[in-house]
A and B are shown apart, each in its own frame.
Chain A
Amino acid sequence: MGRLNVELCGIPLDNPVIPASGTFGYGWEFHELYDLNILGTFSFKGTTREPRFGNPTPRIAEAPSGMLNAVGLQNPGVEKVIAEELPRLKTHFHKQVMANVSGFSVEEFAETCALLDKEPQVGWLEVNISCPNVHGGGMSFGTDPKAAAAVTKAVKKVTRKPVILKLSPNVMDITEIARAVESEGADGVSLINTLMGMRIDLKSRRPVLKNRTGGLSGPAVFPVALRMVWDVAGAVKIPVIGMGGVSTAEDVIEMMLAGATAVEVGAQNLRDPFAAKTIIEELPGVMDRLGIENLREIIGGAR
Protein backbone atom coordinates (compact mmCIF):
# COMPACT_ATOMS: atom_id res chain seq x y z
CA MET A 1 0.00 0.00 0.00
CA GLY A 2 1.14 3.51 -0.78
CA ARG A 3 1.59 6.29 1.72
CA LEU A 4 -1.70 7.96 0.82
CA ASN A 5 -3.95 4.89 0.67
CA VAL A 6 -6.83 4.57 3.08
CA GLU A 7 -9.88 2.36 3.22
CA LEU A 8 -13.39 3.76 3.43
CA CYS A 9 -16.11 1.33 4.53
CA GLY A 10 -14.26 -1.61 3.01
CA ILE A 11 -13.42 0.08 -0.30
CA PRO A 12 -9.79 1.07 -0.85
CA LEU A 13 -9.01 4.66 -1.80
CA ASP A 14 -5.74 5.70 -3.44
CA ASN A 15 -5.86 8.78 -1.26
CA PRO A 16 -8.34 10.30 1.20
CA VAL A 17 -9.20 13.34 -0.94
CA ILE A 18 -12.81 13.46 -2.12
CA PRO A 19 -14.35 16.50 -3.84
CA ALA A 20 -17.60 17.21 -2.01
CA SER A 21 -21.08 17.01 -3.42
CA GLY A 22 -22.42 20.19 -4.98
CA THR A 23 -18.98 21.52 -5.84
CA PHE A 24 -18.04 18.99 -8.51
CA GLY A 25 -21.19 18.41 -10.60
CA TYR A 26 -21.10 14.90 -12.03
CA GLY A 27 -17.39 15.33 -12.77
CA TRP A 28 -17.58 16.55 -16.35
CA GLU A 29 -16.44 20.15 -15.87
CA PHE A 30 -13.35 18.97 -13.97
CA HIS A 31 -12.58 16.13 -16.35
CA GLU A 32 -11.88 18.87 -18.89
CA LEU A 33 -9.20 20.22 -16.52
CA TYR A 34 -7.41 17.16 -15.11
CA ASP A 35 -7.53 13.37 -14.92
CA LEU A 36 -10.21 12.57 -12.34
CA ASN A 37 -8.58 9.20 -11.66
CA ILE A 38 -6.02 10.88 -9.40
CA LEU A 39 -8.83 11.44 -6.85
CA GLY A 40 -9.70 9.05 -4.03
CA THR A 41 -13.21 9.35 -5.42
CA PHE A 42 -15.70 12.20 -5.62
CA SER A 43 -19.20 12.72 -4.32
CA PHE A 44 -21.55 13.66 -7.12
CA LYS A 45 -24.17 16.40 -7.13
CA GLY A 46 -26.99 15.85 -4.64
CA THR A 47 -29.54 13.76 -6.51
CA THR A 48 -33.25 13.41 -5.83
CA ARG A 49 -35.91 11.14 -7.26
CA GLU A 50 -37.48 13.92 -9.36
CA PRO A 51 -35.62 16.59 -11.36
CA ARG A 52 -35.28 19.88 -9.49
CA PHE A 53 -34.55 23.45 -10.51
CA GLY A 54 -33.68 24.50 -6.99
CA ASN A 55 -34.19 27.95 -5.55
CA PRO A 56 -34.60 31.25 -7.41
CA THR A 57 -31.44 33.29 -8.03
CA PRO A 58 -29.42 35.01 -6.67
CA ARG A 59 -28.41 31.91 -4.79
CA ILE A 60 -24.71 32.60 -4.20
CA ALA A 61 -23.14 35.21 -1.93
CA GLU A 62 -19.70 36.17 -0.68
CA ALA A 63 -18.89 35.71 3.03
CA PRO A 64 -15.78 36.45 5.10
CA SER A 65 -13.34 33.66 4.13
CA GLY A 66 -16.12 31.72 2.51
CA MET A 67 -19.40 31.77 0.67
CA LEU A 68 -23.10 31.19 1.05
CA ASN A 69 -25.10 29.04 -1.32
CA ALA A 70 -28.81 28.44 -1.58
CA VAL A 71 -28.80 26.35 -4.75
CA GLY A 72 -31.45 24.04 -3.32
CA LEU A 73 -30.47 20.72 -4.88
CA GLN A 74 -30.75 21.49 -8.57
CA ASN A 75 -30.32 18.13 -10.30
CA PRO A 76 -31.72 16.23 -13.29
CA GLY A 77 -33.33 13.50 -11.16
CA VAL A 78 -32.00 10.01 -10.45
CA GLU A 79 -33.26 8.40 -13.66
CA LYS A 80 -31.43 10.86 -15.86
CA VAL A 81 -28.34 10.60 -13.67
CA ILE A 82 -28.34 6.83 -14.24
CA ALA A 83 -29.21 7.07 -17.94
CA GLU A 84 -26.89 9.95 -18.89
CA GLU A 85 -24.44 11.09 -16.23
CA LEU A 86 -23.10 7.72 -15.10
CA PRO A 87 -22.42 6.43 -18.66
CA ARG A 88 -20.67 9.71 -19.50
CA LEU A 89 -18.66 9.52 -16.27
CA LYS A 90 -17.61 5.96 -17.07
CA THR A 91 -15.74 7.13 -20.16
CA HIS A 92 -13.22 9.07 -18.05
CA PHE A 93 -13.49 7.94 -14.42
CA HIS A 94 -12.54 4.36 -13.72
CA LYS A 95 -13.14 4.28 -9.97
CA GLN A 96 -16.33 3.96 -8.00
CA VAL A 97 -18.09 7.24 -7.34
CA MET A 98 -19.86 8.34 -4.18
CA ALA A 99 -23.55 8.89 -4.92
CA ASN A 100 -25.00 11.78 -2.93
CA VAL A 101 -28.73 11.39 -2.43
CA SER A 102 -31.33 13.71 -0.97
CA GLY A 103 -35.05 13.50 -0.52
CA PHE A 104 -38.24 14.87 0.93
CA SER A 105 -39.62 11.74 2.57
CA VAL A 106 -38.20 8.54 3.99
CA GLU A 107 -39.72 6.66 1.04
CA GLU A 108 -38.11 8.97 -1.49
CA PHE A 109 -34.66 8.52 0.05
CA ALA A 110 -35.14 4.75 -0.13
CA GLU A 111 -36.45 4.74 -3.71
CA THR A 112 -33.59 6.85 -5.01
CA CYS A 113 -31.02 4.75 -3.16
CA ALA A 114 -32.60 1.52 -4.45
CA LEU A 115 -32.13 2.71 -8.04
CA LEU A 116 -28.51 3.72 -7.44
CA ASP A 117 -27.82 0.43 -5.62
CA LYS A 118 -28.05 -1.35 -8.98
CA GLU A 119 -25.22 0.72 -10.46
CA PRO A 120 -21.78 -0.92 -10.23
CA GLN A 121 -20.16 2.49 -10.73
CA VAL A 122 -21.55 3.60 -7.39
CA GLY A 123 -19.31 2.67 -4.46
CA TRP A 124 -20.96 4.42 -1.55
CA LEU A 125 -24.29 6.10 -0.94
CA GLU A 126 -23.84 9.42 0.83
CA VAL A 127 -27.28 10.21 2.18
CA ASN A 128 -27.71 13.94 2.60
CA ILE A 129 -29.99 14.55 5.58
CA SER A 130 -28.57 18.01 6.06
CA CYS A 131 -29.29 20.33 3.14
CA PRO A 132 -30.25 23.68 4.70
CA ASN A 133 -31.66 25.08 1.46
CA VAL A 134 -34.78 23.05 0.79
CA HIS A 135 -38.11 23.33 2.46
CA GLY A 136 -40.05 20.41 3.89
CA GLY A 137 -37.15 17.98 3.63
CA GLY A 138 -33.40 18.06 3.56
CA MET A 139 -32.12 19.26 6.86
CA SER A 140 -35.24 18.39 8.84
CA PHE A 141 -34.15 14.73 8.67
CA GLY A 142 -30.73 15.61 9.97
CA THR A 143 -31.76 17.67 12.97
CA ASP A 144 -34.00 15.05 14.58
CA PRO A 145 -32.32 11.82 15.74
CA LYS A 146 -35.51 9.80 15.19
CA ALA A 147 -35.95 11.02 11.61
CA ALA A 148 -32.24 10.51 10.89
CA ALA A 149 -32.52 6.96 12.19
CA ALA A 150 -35.64 6.32 10.11
CA VAL A 151 -33.94 7.41 6.89
CA THR A 152 -30.92 5.25 7.71
CA LYS A 153 -33.05 2.22 8.40
CA ALA A 154 -35.06 2.62 5.19
CA VAL A 155 -31.96 3.09 3.04
CA LYS A 156 -30.08 0.19 4.61
CA LYS A 157 -32.98 -2.08 3.66
CA VAL A 158 -32.63 -1.38 -0.05
CA THR A 159 -28.87 -1.50 -0.54
CA ARG A 160 -25.81 -3.54 0.26
CA LYS A 161 -23.49 -0.68 -0.61
CA PRO A 162 -21.96 1.26 2.28
CA VAL A 163 -24.33 3.95 3.50
CA ILE A 164 -22.78 7.18 4.74
CA LEU A 165 -25.05 9.74 6.39
CA LYS A 166 -24.10 13.36 5.74
CA LEU A 167 -24.77 15.30 8.91
CA SER A 168 -25.87 18.84 9.60
CA PRO A 169 -23.93 21.14 11.92
CA ASN A 170 -27.12 23.10 12.59
CA VAL A 171 -27.96 21.04 15.68
CA MET A 172 -27.45 21.22 19.43
CA ASP A 173 -25.47 17.96 19.58
CA ILE A 174 -24.18 16.41 16.39
CA THR A 175 -22.96 13.30 18.23
CA GLU A 176 -26.56 12.46 19.12
CA ILE A 177 -27.48 12.33 15.41
CA ALA A 178 -24.31 10.37 14.62
CA ARG A 179 -25.13 7.77 17.27
CA ALA A 180 -28.73 7.54 16.06
CA VAL A 181 -27.69 6.68 12.49
CA GLU A 182 -24.98 4.31 13.70
CA SER A 183 -27.55 2.41 15.74
CA GLU A 184 -29.59 1.80 12.56
CA GLY A 185 -26.62 0.41 10.70
CA ALA A 186 -25.01 3.41 9.01
CA ASP A 187 -21.61 2.41 7.64
CA GLY A 188 -20.15 5.88 8.04
CA VAL A 189 -20.93 9.53 8.59
CA SER A 190 -19.69 12.61 6.74
CA LEU A 191 -19.65 16.08 8.24
CA ILE A 192 -20.20 18.91 8.19
CA ASN A 193 -22.74 20.13 5.68
CA THR A 194 -22.99 23.91 5.48
CA LEU A 195 -23.89 26.20 8.38
CA MET A 196 -27.03 28.22 7.88
CA GLY A 197 -26.38 31.92 7.38
CA MET A 198 -27.47 35.03 5.53
CA ARG A 199 -26.29 38.40 4.16
CA ILE A 200 -28.10 41.69 3.60
CA ASP A 201 -27.35 44.04 0.70
CA LEU A 202 -26.74 47.45 2.27
CA LYS A 203 -27.93 49.41 -0.75
CA SER A 204 -31.20 47.57 -1.39
CA ARG A 205 -31.67 46.68 2.32
CA ARG A 206 -32.81 43.23 1.25
CA PRO A 207 -31.28 39.79 1.81
CA VAL A 208 -28.69 39.06 -0.88
CA LEU A 209 -30.05 35.56 -1.38
CA LYS A 210 -33.53 35.27 -2.85
CA ASN A 211 -34.03 32.31 -0.50
CA ARG A 212 -33.00 34.68 2.34
CA THR A 213 -30.81 32.04 3.99
CA GLY A 214 -28.06 29.88 2.59
CA GLY A 215 -25.34 27.50 3.69
CA LEU A 216 -21.96 28.86 4.75
CA SER A 217 -18.87 27.01 3.55
CA GLY A 218 -15.21 27.75 2.95
CA PRO A 219 -12.22 28.29 5.27
CA ALA A 220 -14.44 30.24 7.69
CA VAL A 221 -16.10 27.02 8.85
CA PHE A 222 -12.97 24.84 9.14
CA PRO A 223 -12.46 25.12 12.92
CA VAL A 224 -16.17 24.43 13.53
CA ALA A 225 -16.04 21.41 11.26
CA LEU A 226 -12.86 20.11 12.87
CA ARG A 227 -14.36 20.33 16.33
CA MET A 228 -17.44 18.40 15.21
CA VAL A 229 -15.34 15.74 13.45
CA TRP A 230 -13.39 15.33 16.68
CA ASP A 231 -16.56 14.97 18.75
CA VAL A 232 -18.26 12.55 16.36
CA ALA A 233 -15.14 10.43 15.88
CA GLY A 234 -15.10 10.00 19.66
CA ALA A 235 -18.78 9.10 19.81
CA VAL A 236 -19.12 6.43 17.09
CA LYS A 237 -17.14 3.43 15.86
CA ILE A 238 -17.98 3.82 12.16
CA PRO A 239 -15.65 5.82 9.87
CA VAL A 240 -15.99 9.58 9.74
CA ILE A 241 -15.43 11.68 6.62
CA GLY A 242 -14.33 15.16 7.59
CA MET A 243 -15.25 18.21 5.56
CA GLY A 244 -15.85 21.91 5.94
CA GLY A 245 -13.44 24.54 4.67
CA VAL A 246 -10.67 22.12 3.72
CA SER A 247 -8.36 24.00 1.34
CA THR A 248 -4.84 22.59 1.74
CA ALA A 249 -2.93 19.35 2.33
CA GLU A 250 -2.32 20.57 5.89
CA ASP A 251 -6.09 20.85 6.42
CA VAL A 252 -6.50 17.24 5.26
CA ILE A 253 -3.94 16.07 7.80
CA GLU A 254 -5.56 18.14 10.55
CA MET A 255 -8.95 16.56 9.81
CA MET A 256 -7.39 13.09 9.87
CA LEU A 257 -5.62 13.79 13.17
CA ALA A 258 -9.06 14.71 14.56
CA GLY A 259 -10.35 11.30 13.54
CA ALA A 260 -11.38 11.52 9.87
CA THR A 261 -10.71 8.47 7.70
CA ALA A 262 -11.19 10.49 4.50
CA VAL A 263 -11.65 14.17 3.76
CA GLU A 264 -13.99 16.00 1.41
CA VAL A 265 -13.02 19.25 -0.29
CA GLY A 266 -15.91 21.55 -1.14
CA ALA A 267 -16.00 25.30 -1.65
CA GLN A 268 -12.31 25.43 -2.52
CA ASN A 269 -13.07 23.61 -5.81
CA LEU A 270 -15.20 26.56 -6.85
CA ARG A 271 -12.54 29.14 -6.11
CA ASP A 272 -9.72 27.01 -7.48
CA PRO A 273 -10.83 24.30 -9.92
CA PHE A 274 -7.48 22.55 -9.45
CA ALA A 275 -7.75 22.52 -5.63
CA ALA A 276 -8.23 18.75 -5.17
CA LYS A 277 -5.40 17.96 -7.59
CA THR A 278 -3.07 20.40 -5.86
CA ILE A 279 -3.88 19.00 -2.42
CA ILE A 280 -3.16 15.43 -3.56
CA GLU A 281 0.11 16.48 -5.16
CA GLU A 282 1.22 18.39 -2.08
CA LEU A 283 0.33 15.72 0.48
CA PRO A 284 3.57 13.68 0.22
CA GLY A 285 5.77 16.75 0.71
CA VAL A 286 3.76 17.95 3.68
CA MET A 287 3.86 14.44 5.17
CA ASP A 288 7.66 14.38 4.77
CA ARG A 289 7.94 17.69 6.52
CA LEU A 290 5.74 16.47 9.39
CA GLY A 291 7.38 13.06 9.68
CA ILE A 292 4.28 11.15 8.62
CA GLU A 293 5.09 7.81 7.00
CA ASN A 294 1.57 7.01 5.83
CA LEU A 295 -1.83 8.60 6.33
CA ARG A 296 -3.47 5.52 7.86
CA GLU A 297 -1.32 5.85 10.96
CA ILE A 298 -2.46 9.39 11.74
CA ILE A 299 -6.25 8.85 11.78
CA GLY A 300 -7.35 10.10 15.19
CA GLY A 301 -3.70 10.66 16.08
CA ALA A 302 -4.34 13.87 18.00
CA ARG A 303 -6.87 12.29 20.29
Chain B
Amino acid sequence: MKQGIFTVLQNRPLTADVWEMRLGGDTDAITAPGQFVNITVPGLFLRRPISVCDCEEGELTLVYKVVGKGTDALSRLTEGEELDLLTGLGNGYDLMAAGENPLLLGGGVGVPPLYWLAKKLTNAGKQVSVVLGFNRREEVFCEEAFRALGAKVAVTTVDGSYGTRGFVTDALPRDYTSVYTCGPLPMLKAVYKATRGPAFFSFEERMGCGFGACMGCTQRTKEGYKRICKDGPVLRREEILWED
Protein backbone atom coordinates (compact mmCIF):
# COMPACT_ATOMS: atom_id res chain seq x y z
CA MET B 1 0.00 0.00 0.00
CA LYS B 2 1.11 3.51 -0.77
CA GLN B 3 -0.33 6.93 -0.07
CA GLY B 4 0.03 9.46 -2.83
CA ILE B 5 -1.33 12.59 -4.44
CA PHE B 6 -2.85 12.07 -7.88
CA THR B 7 -3.86 14.68 -10.44
CA VAL B 8 -7.12 14.42 -12.36
CA LEU B 9 -6.24 14.13 -16.05
CA GLN B 10 -9.79 13.65 -17.27
CA ASN B 11 -13.23 13.04 -15.73
CA ARG B 12 -16.11 12.32 -18.08
CA PRO B 13 -19.50 10.58 -18.05
CA LEU B 14 -19.87 7.26 -19.91
CA THR B 15 -23.60 6.93 -19.22
CA ALA B 16 -26.14 8.94 -17.19
CA ASP B 17 -24.50 7.97 -13.91
CA VAL B 18 -21.27 6.10 -14.70
CA TRP B 19 -18.09 8.19 -14.94
CA GLU B 20 -14.54 7.54 -16.06
CA MET B 21 -11.70 9.33 -14.30
CA ARG B 22 -8.10 9.20 -15.42
CA LEU B 23 -5.53 10.07 -12.76
CA GLY B 24 -1.80 10.70 -12.91
CA GLY B 25 0.49 9.70 -10.03
CA ASP B 26 2.66 6.98 -8.53
CA THR B 27 1.08 3.65 -9.47
CA ASP B 28 3.93 1.42 -8.22
CA ALA B 29 1.87 -0.18 -5.45
CA ILE B 30 -0.85 -1.34 -7.83
CA THR B 31 0.13 -4.86 -8.76
CA ALA B 32 -2.97 -6.80 -9.85
CA PRO B 33 -6.34 -6.33 -11.57
CA GLY B 34 -9.15 -6.47 -9.01
CA GLN B 35 -7.29 -4.27 -6.54
CA PHE B 36 -8.80 -0.95 -5.51
CA VAL B 37 -7.80 2.52 -4.41
CA ASN B 38 -9.23 4.45 -1.46
CA ILE B 39 -9.86 8.11 -2.17
CA THR B 40 -10.12 11.07 0.18
CA VAL B 41 -13.15 12.99 -1.03
CA PRO B 42 -13.27 16.69 -0.13
CA GLY B 43 -15.89 17.30 2.57
CA LEU B 44 -16.27 13.68 3.66
CA PHE B 45 -14.56 11.80 6.48
CA LEU B 46 -14.22 8.26 5.20
CA ARG B 47 -12.33 7.51 2.02
CA ARG B 48 -14.24 5.98 -0.89
CA PRO B 49 -12.98 2.66 -2.29
CA ILE B 50 -13.05 2.41 -6.09
CA SER B 51 -11.75 -0.53 -8.13
CA VAL B 52 -8.96 -0.07 -10.64
CA CYS B 53 -10.29 -0.22 -14.20
CA ASP B 54 -6.95 0.21 -15.93
CA CYS B 55 -3.43 0.98 -14.84
CA GLU B 56 -0.23 1.82 -16.65
CA GLU B 57 2.99 3.30 -15.38
CA GLY B 58 1.98 6.61 -13.76
CA GLU B 59 -1.61 6.55 -14.95
CA LEU B 60 -4.72 5.11 -13.42
CA THR B 61 -8.26 4.81 -14.78
CA LEU B 62 -11.27 4.49 -12.49
CA VAL B 63 -14.81 3.90 -13.68
CA TYR B 64 -17.39 4.56 -10.97
CA LYS B 65 -21.13 4.94 -10.59
CA VAL B 66 -22.60 7.95 -8.82
CA VAL B 67 -24.58 6.39 -5.99
CA GLY B 68 -24.17 8.83 -3.10
CA LYS B 69 -22.42 11.92 -1.77
CA GLY B 70 -18.91 10.55 -2.19
CA THR B 71 -19.18 9.47 -5.80
CA ASP B 72 -21.22 12.59 -6.61
CA ALA B 73 -18.36 14.72 -5.28
CA LEU B 74 -15.91 12.70 -7.39
CA SER B 75 -17.94 13.35 -10.52
CA ARG B 76 -17.61 17.10 -9.94
CA LEU B 77 -13.82 17.10 -9.99
CA THR B 78 -12.17 18.66 -13.00
CA GLU B 79 -8.84 18.37 -14.79
CA GLY B 80 -5.88 19.47 -12.71
CA GLU B 81 -7.48 18.92 -9.30
CA GLU B 82 -5.58 16.76 -6.82
CA LEU B 83 -6.74 13.75 -4.85
CA ASP B 84 -5.18 11.83 -1.94
CA LEU B 85 -5.22 8.10 -2.74
CA LEU B 86 -4.22 4.94 -0.95
CA THR B 87 -3.19 2.58 -3.73
CA GLY B 88 -2.46 -1.11 -4.08
CA LEU B 89 -5.27 -2.19 -1.76
CA GLY B 90 -6.75 -5.69 -1.78
CA ASN B 91 -5.50 -8.98 -3.15
CA GLY B 92 -6.71 -8.70 -6.75
CA TYR B 93 -7.47 -11.52 -9.17
CA ASP B 94 -5.22 -14.55 -9.42
CA LEU B 95 -4.18 -14.74 -13.08
CA MET B 96 -2.23 -17.96 -12.68
CA ALA B 97 -5.37 -20.10 -12.63
CA ALA B 98 -6.83 -18.63 -15.84
CA GLY B 99 -6.13 -21.49 -18.25
CA GLU B 100 -6.46 -20.89 -21.99
CA ASN B 101 -10.10 -19.74 -22.10
CA PRO B 102 -10.93 -17.51 -19.13
CA LEU B 103 -14.49 -16.27 -18.83
CA LEU B 104 -15.07 -12.79 -17.38
CA LEU B 105 -18.54 -11.91 -16.08
CA GLY B 106 -19.33 -8.34 -15.07
CA GLY B 107 -22.57 -6.81 -13.87
CA GLY B 108 -23.16 -3.03 -13.99
CA VAL B 109 -20.54 -1.17 -12.03
CA GLY B 110 -18.82 -4.54 -11.50
CA VAL B 111 -17.61 -4.37 -15.11
CA PRO B 112 -14.66 -1.93 -14.66
CA PRO B 113 -12.18 -4.12 -12.72
CA LEU B 114 -12.54 -6.79 -15.43
CA TYR B 115 -11.12 -4.46 -18.08
CA TRP B 116 -7.53 -4.44 -16.81
CA LEU B 117 -7.87 -8.15 -16.14
CA ALA B 118 -8.98 -8.77 -19.74
CA LYS B 119 -6.10 -6.65 -20.97
CA LYS B 120 -3.56 -8.68 -18.98
CA LEU B 121 -5.09 -11.97 -20.07
CA THR B 122 -5.31 -11.10 -23.77
CA ASN B 123 -1.73 -9.78 -23.66
CA ALA B 124 -0.74 -13.17 -22.23
CA GLY B 125 -2.27 -14.81 -25.31
CA LYS B 126 -5.43 -16.13 -23.67
CA GLN B 127 -8.72 -16.49 -25.53
CA VAL B 128 -10.86 -14.30 -23.32
CA SER B 129 -14.67 -14.40 -23.28
CA VAL B 130 -16.53 -11.56 -21.62
CA VAL B 131 -20.20 -11.27 -20.70
CA LEU B 132 -21.34 -7.84 -19.56
CA GLY B 133 -24.70 -7.48 -17.86
CA PHE B 134 -26.75 -4.30 -17.56
CA ASN B 135 -30.35 -3.34 -16.83
CA ARG B 136 -31.03 -1.64 -20.19
CA ARG B 137 -29.41 -0.31 -23.35
CA GLU B 138 -28.76 3.19 -21.95
CA GLU B 139 -26.59 1.76 -19.17
CA VAL B 140 -24.19 -0.20 -21.37
CA PHE B 141 -20.55 0.93 -21.19
CA CYS B 142 -17.08 -0.45 -21.93
CA GLU B 143 -18.34 -2.93 -24.55
CA GLU B 144 -16.16 -1.53 -27.34
CA ALA B 145 -13.15 -1.30 -25.04
CA PHE B 146 -13.31 -5.04 -24.37
CA ARG B 147 -13.78 -5.77 -28.10
CA ALA B 148 -10.72 -3.65 -28.89
CA LEU B 149 -8.66 -5.97 -26.71
CA GLY B 150 -9.67 -8.88 -28.90
CA ALA B 151 -11.97 -10.47 -26.34
CA LYS B 152 -15.14 -12.25 -27.40
CA VAL B 153 -17.85 -10.01 -25.95
CA ALA B 154 -21.53 -10.68 -25.21
CA VAL B 155 -23.90 -8.21 -23.59
CA THR B 156 -27.08 -8.94 -21.68
CA THR B 157 -29.79 -6.53 -20.57
CA VAL B 158 -32.52 -7.33 -18.09
CA ASP B 159 -35.20 -5.67 -20.23
CA GLY B 160 -33.86 -7.11 -23.49
CA SER B 161 -33.32 -3.65 -25.03
CA TYR B 162 -29.78 -4.64 -26.08
CA GLY B 163 -27.99 -7.96 -26.57
CA THR B 164 -29.37 -11.06 -24.93
CA ARG B 165 -32.40 -10.58 -22.67
CA GLY B 166 -31.69 -11.61 -19.08
CA PHE B 167 -28.62 -11.84 -16.87
CA VAL B 168 -24.96 -12.70 -17.54
CA THR B 169 -25.80 -16.29 -16.65
CA ASP B 170 -28.15 -16.37 -19.65
CA ALA B 171 -25.27 -15.84 -22.08
CA LEU B 172 -22.59 -18.21 -20.78
CA PRO B 173 -20.35 -19.84 -23.41
CA ARG B 174 -20.21 -23.63 -23.32
CA ASP B 175 -16.51 -23.95 -22.77
CA TYR B 176 -14.19 -22.01 -20.48
CA THR B 177 -11.25 -22.84 -18.24
CA SER B 178 -11.85 -20.33 -15.40
CA VAL B 179 -14.32 -17.70 -14.22
CA TYR B 180 -13.61 -14.16 -13.02
CA THR B 181 -16.55 -12.09 -11.86
CA CYS B 182 -17.56 -8.84 -10.23
CA GLY B 183 -21.06 -7.47 -9.73
CA PRO B 184 -23.98 -7.24 -7.32
CA LEU B 185 -24.39 -10.00 -4.74
CA PRO B 186 -27.37 -11.75 -6.41
CA MET B 187 -25.34 -11.95 -9.61
CA LEU B 188 -22.33 -13.42 -7.81
CA LYS B 189 -24.59 -16.08 -6.28
CA ALA B 190 -26.10 -16.89 -9.69
CA VAL B 191 -22.65 -17.13 -11.28
CA TYR B 192 -21.50 -19.41 -8.45
CA LYS B 193 -24.36 -21.79 -9.20
CA ALA B 194 -24.26 -21.62 -13.00
CA THR B 195 -20.52 -22.07 -13.55
CA ARG B 196 -17.91 -24.70 -12.76
CA GLY B 197 -14.15 -24.91 -12.30
CA PRO B 198 -11.73 -22.36 -10.89
CA ALA B 199 -13.63 -19.17 -10.13
CA PHE B 200 -12.82 -15.83 -8.54
CA PHE B 201 -15.49 -13.54 -7.12
CA SER B 202 -14.94 -9.89 -6.24
CA PHE B 203 -17.06 -8.71 -3.30
CA GLU B 204 -18.19 -5.28 -2.24
CA GLU B 205 -18.69 -4.12 1.34
CA ARG B 206 -18.84 -0.83 3.21
CA MET B 207 -15.34 -0.13 4.46
CA GLY B 208 -13.83 1.99 7.19
CA CYS B 209 -10.13 2.05 6.41
CA GLY B 210 -9.67 -0.12 3.32
CA PHE B 211 -6.36 -1.56 4.53
CA GLY B 212 -7.30 -4.16 7.13
CA ALA B 213 -7.22 -2.21 10.38
CA CYS B 214 -10.81 -1.57 11.43
CA MET B 215 -12.51 -4.93 10.75
CA GLY B 216 -15.47 -3.02 9.30
CA CYS B 217 -15.91 -5.16 6.18
CA THR B 218 -15.35 -8.70 7.46
CA GLN B 219 -17.19 -11.63 5.93
CA ARG B 220 -17.44 -15.22 7.09
CA THR B 221 -15.83 -17.77 4.74
CA LYS B 222 -15.14 -21.49 4.82
CA GLU B 223 -11.57 -20.55 5.68
CA GLY B 224 -12.39 -18.22 8.57
CA TYR B 225 -13.16 -14.55 8.78
CA LYS B 226 -11.88 -12.51 5.85
CA ARG B 227 -11.55 -8.75 5.63
CA ILE B 228 -12.95 -7.86 2.21
CA CYS B 229 -10.50 -4.95 1.96
CA LYS B 230 -7.33 -6.84 2.83
CA ASP B 231 -7.91 -10.60 2.42
CA GLY B 232 -10.27 -9.84 -0.50
CA PRO B 233 -12.01 -8.30 -2.32
CA VAL B 234 -11.49 -11.40 -4.46
CA LEU B 235 -12.49 -14.72 -2.90
CA ARG B 236 -11.99 -18.14 -4.50
CA ARG B 237 -14.99 -20.38 -5.16
CA GLU B 238 -13.84 -22.91 -2.54
CA GLU B 239 -13.75 -20.42 0.33
CA ILE B 240 -17.07 -18.67 -0.22
CA LEU B 241 -19.78 -19.19 2.37
CA TRP B 242 -23.10 -17.70 1.27
CA GLU B 243 -25.13 -16.27 4.13
CA ASP B 244 -28.90 -15.80 4.27
Measured CB to CB, the residues of A under 8 A from B are 22-25, 28-30, 32-33, 45, 53-54, 57-67, 69, 71, 74, 218-219, 267, 269-274
Contacts and interface: CB of A to CB of B under 8 A. Distances in A.
A218 B45 contact: yes
Contacts, number: 85
B119 interface: no
A35 to B, nearest CB: 16
B21 to A, nearest CB: 20
A32 B217 CA distance: 20
Contact of B214 (A23, A32, A61): A23
A30 B219 CA distance: 22
A59 B216 contact: yes
A29 B230 contact: yes
Given A65-B45, A273-B3, A59 B206 contact: yes
A81 B70 CA distance: 36
Interface in B45-64: 45-47
B231 to A, nearest CB: 12
A274 B44 CA distance: 18
B13 to A, nearest CB: 21
A29 B215 contact: no
A51 to B, nearest CB: 9
Contact of A23 (B1, B3, B206, B213): B213
B172 interface: no
Contacts of A67: 45-46, 208
Contact of B45 (A32, A33, A45, A62): A62
B36 interface: no
B149 interface: no
A60 B212 CA distance: 13
A57 B219 contact: yes
A271 B216 CA distance: 13
Contacts of A218: 45
12 contacts: A22-B215, A23-B209, A24-B213, A29-B212, A57-B219, A58-B205, A58-B206, A60-B46, A60-B214, A219-B45, A270-B208, A273-B1
A53 B221 CA distance: 11
B212 to A, nearest CB: 5
Which 8 pairs across A and B sit closest by C-beta, in order of nearness? Answer: A60-B216, A270-B209, A58-B206, A74-B215, A60-B208, A29-B212, A60-B206, A29-B213
A148 to B, nearest CB: 26
B146 to A, nearest CB: 30
Contacts of A57: 205-206, 216-219
B27 interface: no
Contacts of A58: 205-206
A267 B45 contact: yes
A53 B214 contact: no
B195 interface: no
B211 interface: yes
Interface in B186-244: 205-209, 211-220, 225, 230
B40 interface: yes
Nearest to A45: B215
B69 interface: yes
A219 B45 CA distance: 9
Contact of B213 (A59, A61, A270, A274): A270
Contacts of B220: 53
Contacts of B205: 57-58
B86 interface: yes
Contacts of B44: 62
Given A57-B219, A71-B216, A273-B3, 12 more contacts: A23-B214, A58-B205, A59-B206, A62-B46, A67-B45, A67-B208, A69-B214, A74-B215, A270-B213, A271-B40, A273-B1, A274-B3
Contacts of A29: 211-213, 230
Nearest to A208: B206
Contact of A71 (B3, B215, B219, B230): B215
Nearest to A30: B213
B151 to A, nearest CB: 33
Contacts of B1: 32-33, 273
Given A61-B206, A271-B45, A53 B213 contact: no
Contacts of A54: 215, 218
A269 B209 contact: yes
A61 B3 CA distance: 23
Interface string B61-99: 000000001100000000000000010000000000000
A193 B206 CA distance: 22
A30 to B, nearest CB: 7
Given A63-B45, A67-B208, A270 B215 contact: no
A24 B208 CA distance: 12
Contacts of B69: 62
Contacts of A22: 214-215
A119 B70 CA distance: 44
